[in-house]
Chain A
Amino acid sequence: MKRTTLLSLSLILVLCALGASCSARRPATSQTPVPPQMSAPTSGYQRISIPALPAFKPQQPKRIQLTNGMVIFLQEDHELPLIEGTARIRGGSVSEPAQKAGLVGLFGEVWRTGGTKSQTGDQMDDYLEVRAAKVETGDGPDSTTIGWSCLKSDQDDVFRVFVDLLMNPEFRTDKLDIAQQGDFDAISRRNDSAAGIAGREATRLAYGADNPYARMDEYATVGAVTHQDLLDWHHKYVHPNNMILGVTGDFDSAAMEAKLRTAFESWPKGPQAAKENIQFARAKPGYYLVPKDDVNQSNINMVALGTTRDNPDFYAINVFNEAFGGGFSSRLFNDIRTKRGLAYGVGGGIGANFGHPGILQIQAGTKSQSTIEAIRAVDEDIADLATHPVTEAEVKHAQDAILNAFVFRLDSPDKILGERMTYEFYGYPADWLDKYPAEIGKVTAADVNRVAAKYLHRDQMAVLVVGNPMEFDKPLSTLGPVKELDIAIPPPPGGDRSVNGGPAK
């Protein structure tokens, strides 16, 4: 967690420094080569012929399962003299105890910085940096990761460090302390940015504030994490039968397989990570306000619970999202941004994740003085779906966009490896992506309008505004009863200590 925070802080600074500004904003979507079906030439671009895309059979990684349950994928890629590996291990922050929220974030950092029994993290830094190599660990809601990246010629040296860290981490307490201080800092800064508040609080409204996918680290919960907790976590989860290892780069698969078998075959099985049974409450509809008077733009997030990717409606949902809230062609972009000039960033859709429901979300950023106007404009666009259903032409356009861009899901060996590891992790069929284009192609306008009606209910959405209500065009309460969210940061236990100017209120 902390690493991501720092990374984003420094990125923010560097990005601002560059003064970069971007004109388009297209959420990452998916997509496939499809025969061009250009209609009768009327203007210049339509006269240009589009040849068939050359046949392309992307190389699939080799899957190996060891007797101890460890799954390995090997994906050769000889473009550059590099080798990289990533292990994904079951068990993440949703499985940590609520009173120790932040434990897995600390684990993901201190696993690496705390070193091994034979080498401190600092010694490891020196050893790796002169080789421009990396061994890094990380954390997420349902897994932790450990990986390496190095020159082919350093593979043996670096892989040795990787294995040592995988099996014998020490989690030294001086590094735990640094990581905790970093988390305290991130907590103290979490109300500095309106966009940060909006993203976090929208997730809490969609999933429920106590849901493990939404809960926040606090001074008390981070402070409660001990060295023993990190050792215990490693002991509980880091076993071959909980792990998927993917290796890509400039190697010979047979030789690599032999090396990995030598390293891991004799590693005994451990207890299987339990699958979490997490309840997702429906969002409580209504209007929610976080007043922030140092901004001149309102962050509007309208949310409800989304779905998972194994839902048979997933493909129709994808097409709907593209047509309604995706790119340049979408209804929201065309109406809210282009026609009304109300927002720079606007978009959304019915979110679908692999392992747990995504968030159905529509977002827009608009000046304080058009806050209510923008919410009403989004409302109209949603209501319009009933009176003006998504047309055949819109569906065709969305399908073309998705299918013609599908090749970008497969255009490098490491992307394909990443996809396969994801399906393996979440128990999806190995050929899940192969079926994707055909499934998208089958979606009809009736399907799209059916999923819109099934999932997108304006009256079931929670509407969050983070902004300066003194400058709104009308009070938010003209739309309905408003609940003001308390985002005050609970102070560190014992009233202490070193938090600048007291905890931000």
Chain B
Amino acid sequence: MNRRFLCSLVLCLTAVLLSAAAAAQDLASFEKRITVKTLPNGLTLIVCERPEAPVFSFFTHVDAGSAQDPMGATGLAHMFEHMAFKGTDTIGTTNYPAEKAALAKVEIAYAAFRSERDKTLGPDPARLAELEKAWQDAIKDADQYVVSNEFGKIVEQNGGEDMNAFTNYDETGYHYSLPVNRLELWAYLESERFLHPVLREFYKERNVVIEERRLRTDSRPIGRLLEQFTEEAFAAHPYHRPTVGWMADLNSFSATDAQQFFDKYYVPSNMTVAVVGDVKTADVMPVLEKYFGRLPNAAKPEEPTTTEPPQNSQRAVTLKDRSQPLYLEGYHRPDYRSKDDAVYDAISDLMSEGRTSRLYRALVRDKKIAAFSAGFTGLPGSKYPHLFAFYAFPLPGHTTQEVGDAIHAEIDHLKKEDISDDELRMIHTRIKAGLIRGLADNQGLAIQLGTAQARYGDWRELFRSVDRVDKVTKADIRRVANQTFVENNRTVGIIETAAGDNAKQAAAASGGAQ
């Protein structure tokens, strides 16, 4: 992914930018090109015709993310996402009946090993070694039937582009693009992997996921800070746990656990599939119905019921780390359905967007104390009550205290004085531009439409959210700022440079020991 972001400056410059007038125009045009259909099994399909080139993209949205991870099995939603590339009972196997029996034995052997390993009074080392060997032998036995990565190979061989998936706190998404003559093939593959998934090579893939944790969290100062910060900010809600999972949980959960997660959350009523590209709705809808209609009906799973209790004192975490300093703070706010959601979007834009933003002008341009500063909403997710965050990278010679104070001065300004007419106009124009940015791209469009449909039950909310920003007033901004940005509602996360910062000096840092 990183290589994509570090695209040439030329490409960055040509990034699509849009405007106000386009929004309304496009909603009308999208109305004509979009069809939504909910199948009898509860799965929602969206098809958007965009006949620019003979290709299409899709997005499969599953309304379950790491917030749904069971206790003791953090990381499970993300683990299943990896397993969704492992094939089916016909893809990725040379002999499924034999493989199925062998995989069942792996689970029995792993359960015995885990139970011995996790004994309260400690395992019997000889017995543990024996059980581990039995488990590894069972894996070897099952592996003989595996055709590795066959699912991904089929997609690749057919020209699959940007095949990937993501898991966040709120949801799991799968996406790629194909030449349009492969639409039926795709509908088969995509439905099949959620109809007959086989969790083969699970424990090796678990090691891959553990490497992903080391990469993103343990071995990066900012990763380490964010994990500690989020844990501090949320006491009760599952948002306090990492999406990738705690190391101990990653070393514990089983393929059986992942299968149970799948059975509960990967049900048609919990899934939305969006297709965008050079397709004719009348032609493709029957194909989609034929394949996705096969998924068995099941009840939509219940939402977690815990509500984060109000915060009544400032919290803080400070990492003395092998890194230059960073300041981060977050304030609790309501979920994305809040009537004030658009007000938070407006504040985020005003404070952060471009060189006219208040934080850039105050901290970077005028006070010259930060290399960069911004605020954003949606930390760590947005489906449930979450945080509005501000951060700054102090310049050499300046402290996290200074940048924190400067951010607070800007927040006070927001609370005490109305923003100007020009600023309000700028926010409106830019938010529209920001929304529509990406609409001229099949994959971006599929992701945005699919997500809006899943979140609000109507893709049009994608456009209505812009109308809501249009209605935001100066008074709204002051009211919400005064309500939200108060000390008792604040969690601060700081990286301070560890003293004696020397590459050869051992400083058993947080992630390393897990």
A interface residues with partner B (beta carbon < 8 Å): 4, 6-14, 16-28, 31, 33, 36, 43-45, 48-54, 56, 58, 79-82, 84, 86, 88, 108, 113, 121-122, 125-126, 129-134, 136, 138-140, 145, 147, 149-151, 153, 177-178, 181-182, 184-186, 188-189, 191-195, 248, 290-297, 327-329, 333-334, 337-345, 365-367, 397, 400-401, 403-408, 410-412, 414, 418, 421, 468, 470-471, 487-488, 497-502, 504-505
Contact = CB atoms under 8 A, between A and B. Distances in A.
Interface residues of B, number: 142
Contact of A407 (B54, B356, B497, B509): B54
Given A132-B17, A341-B208, A468-B512, A327 B1 contact: no
Contact of A58 (B53, B153, B160, B185): B53
Contacts of B166: 20-22
Nearest to A17: B379
A461 B26 CA distance: 53
A147 B14 contact: yes
B244 A45 contact: no
Contacts of B278: 54
B3 A27 contact: yes
Nearest to A425: B10
Interface in B377-421: 378-381, 389, 391, 393-398
Interface in B61-116: 66, 78, 81-82, 84-85, 90-91
Contacts of B395: 181-182, 184-185, 498
A58 B166 CA distance: 32
A102 to B, nearest CB: 15
Given A21-B243, A365-B211, A498 B397 contact: yes
A16 B216 contact: yes
Nearest to A299: B219
B324 interface: yes
A327 B153 CA distance: 8
Contacts of A337: 208
Contacts of B242: 19
Contacts of A36: 158, 181
B321 interface: yes
Contacts of A181: 368, 371, 395-396
A342 B8 contact: no
B372 interface: yes
Contacts of A487: 503
Interface stretch (B310-318, B333-341, B427-435): B427-435
Query: Which of B156, B243, B397 has the most C-beta atoms of chain A within 10 angstroms of its own C-beta?
Result: B156
**B contacts with A: majority SS:** mixed
B154 to A, nearest CB: 6
B165 interface: yes
Given A48-B184, A129-B354, A22 B164 contact: yes
B234 to A, nearest CB: 13
A498 B396 contact: yes
Contact of B322 (A52, A192, A408): A192
Contacts of A341: 203-208
Given A16-B216, A45-B188, A48-B185, A133 B397 contact: no
A108 B497 CA distance: 30
21 contacts: A9-B372, A9-B393, A21-B81, A21-B168, A24-B163, A45-B154, A80-B436, A113-B355, A125-B354, A125-B356, A126-B356, A140-B9, A177-B368, A297-B218, A329-B149, A329-B152, A334-B149, A345-B211, A407-B53, A407-B55, A500-B497
A467 to B, nearest CB: 9
A392 to B, nearest CB: 14
B119 interface: no
Given A131-B429, A408-B161, A505-B503, A192 B324 contact: yes
Contacts of A185: 324, 371, 393, 395-396
B374 A10 contact: yes
B449 to A, nearest CB: 17
B15 A404 contact: no
A418 B219 CA distance: 36
A460 B158 CA distance: 36
A291 to B, nearest CB: 6
A461 to B, nearest CB: 21
A342 B324 CA distance: 30
Most buried by B among A129, A133, A294, A505: A294
A105 to B, nearest CB: 11
Contact of B426 (A17, A45, A129): A129
Q: Which of the listed residues A20, A31, A43 has the most CB atoms from chain B within 10 Å of its own CB?
A: A20
Given A19-B380, A192-B221, A295 B512 contact: yes
A51 B12 CA distance: 36
Nearest to B330: A17
B391 A54 contact: no
B145 interface: no
A31 B293 CA distance: 33
A185 B373 CA distance: 13
Contact of A193 (B160, B184, B220, B372): B220
B419 to A, nearest CB: 14
A329 B512 contact: no
A19 B169 contact: yes
Given A192-B323, A293-B503, A84 B430 contact: no
A344 B209 contact: yes
A412 B52 contact: yes
Nearest to A403: B159
